[in-house]
Structure 1
Amino acid sequence: MDSLPVHFFHAIFGYVPGGVTISNELQINGQIRDREVRLIGVHGEQLGIMSAREAQKLADEAKLDLVKVAPQAKPPVCKIIDYGKYRYEMARKAKEAKRKQKQIELKEIRMSPNIDSNDLMTKTKAARKFLEKGNKVKITLRFRGREMAHVSASRHILEEFAESLEDIASVDKAPKMEGRSMSLVLAVKKN
């Protein structure tokens, strides 16, 4: 590892020389330019306040990295850890947290103002399936040509659509004109 050039690590970990890091990366080893740091040892023990050079020496003796974990503290807090392992653990925790999150998607159903009642029932069934999965549904009426003259008369289609799903859904956003289309957003009712 000692034989690899410094710019190799900069390319992999996203560092810029001079202690500046790209994005929210932590400063490690030679990037720490503070005069004094509060040092936490390998096993989590407080080693006290010391110069950054002394802290780096202790990290080198342990054959680990000196990582600034709390840059806003006075003095900044540094920890002696294996940085590669630390990054791996943080990435794994972030991935796990993301997996546990429920992503609510916005599904769209498009219709024309002169839709037949059977087609409307089919669209209602599709919307019901989306809502049962926990997604929001945007119902859009698209107006073409002369249909634009009867926009206000077509509002009832969206209102009937919302009424047919009122047992599981509530209106999140009321019917609204957006260019040549009128849309309504339905969300799952919260019990």
Structure 2
Amino acid sequence: MINEQIRDREIRLIGENGEQLGVMPTKEAMRLAKEAELDLVKIAPTAKPPVCKIIDYGKYRYELVRKEKEAKKKQKVIEVKEVRLSPNIDVNDLNTKVSAARKFIQKGNKVKVTLRFRGREMAHVQSSRHILDDFAKELEDIAVVDKPAKM
């Protein structure tokens, strides 16, 4: 809340340079803010009495937005990369897919491994489970399986 929106009878006031001005009536604090040509902003509304500060509100909002943008910039977005396998994959092809997954993991991304069955391959789902197990075994030195294999 700023300026006239503050309805409390008494507030604890902090000056524009950060000095404590003590507990005073809101009207007196408003007068001091107007003399300094700044705004009276409620900083801690839950305190007894509420804490208000004399600051330039536009500058204050600008600083908050800038801090939020800076925090957002430092966040790392984790992508989920997908590696597709088939049940009749050869050993060398599997090694190629493992090396691709290893690169993704080292860059900080997550890897989703999909074993795709087509047509008659659906009849041999259980015999192809070893492919996913081998894939996980190859990467166990740098990765952990989050979710076990499911149909």
Please report the TM-score for the alignment, with normalisation by the length of structure 2. 0.85
* Structure 1 residues 147 and 38: alpha-carbon distance in aligned structure 2, compared to 1, 3 A threshold: farther
- Structure number with the higher helix fraction is 2
* Structure 1 residues 149 and 76: alpha-carbon distance in aligned structure 2, compared to 1, 3 A threshold: farther
1:63-83 Cα shifts (integer Å, max 9, x gaps)? 111111111211211111111
**Which amino acid letter does the alignment assign opposite residue 56 of structure 1?**
M
If asked which structure has higher relative contact order (CA below 8 Å, sep 6+), I would say 2
* Structure 1 residues 50 and 158: alpha-carbon distance in aligned structure 2, compared to 1, 3 A threshold: same
Structure 2: runs of 5 or more not aligned: none
Aligned equivalent of 2:11:
37
**Which amino acid letter does the alignment assign opposite residue 49 of structure 2?**
P
Structure 1: runs of 5 or more not aligned: 1-26, 178-191
Aligned equivalent of 1:92:
66
Q: CA RMSD in A?
A: 2.1
Matches within 5 A, 1:139-154: 139-154=113-128
**Which amino acid letter does the alignment assign opposite residue 46 of structure 2?**
Q
Question: Of the candidates 104, 123, 131, which is equivalent to residue 157 of structure 1?
Answer: 131
* Structure 1 residues 140 and 39: alpha-carbon distance in aligned structure 2, compared to 1, 3 A threshold: same
Could you say which structure has the larger radius of gyration?
2
Deviates more, 1:83-92 or 1:118-127: 118-127
Please report the TM-score for the alignment, with normalisation by the length of structure 1. 0.69
Cα distance in 1 between the residues matched to 2:86 and 2:79: 23
Deviation at 1:150, TM superposition (A): 3.0
Matches within 5 A, 1:20-31: 27-31=1-5
Cα distance in 1 between the residues matched to 2:61 and 2:114: 45
SS, match of residue 171 in structure 1: coil
- Structure number with the higher strand fraction is 1
1:72-95 Cα shifts (integer Å, max 9, x gaps)? 211211111111111222222222
Aligned equivalent of 2:32:
58
Deviates more, 1:96-105 or 1:126-135: 96-105
Question: Of the candidates 136, 144, 147, which is equivalent to residue 170 of structure 1?
Answer: 144
Residue 102 in 1 paired to residue 76 in 2? Answer: yes
**Which amino acid letter does the alignment assign opposite residue 12 of structure 2?**
R
Deviates more, 1:91-100 or 1:60-69: 91-100
SS, match of residue 47 in structure 1: strand
* Structure 1 residues 117 and 35: alpha-carbon distance in aligned structure 2, compared to 1, 3 A threshold: same
Cα distance in 2 between the residues matched to 1:63 and 1:128: 60
Query: Number of aligned pairs?
Result: 151
1:9-60 Cα shifts (integer Å, max 9, x gaps)? xxxxxxxxxxxxxxxxxx2122222222211110111111222222222111
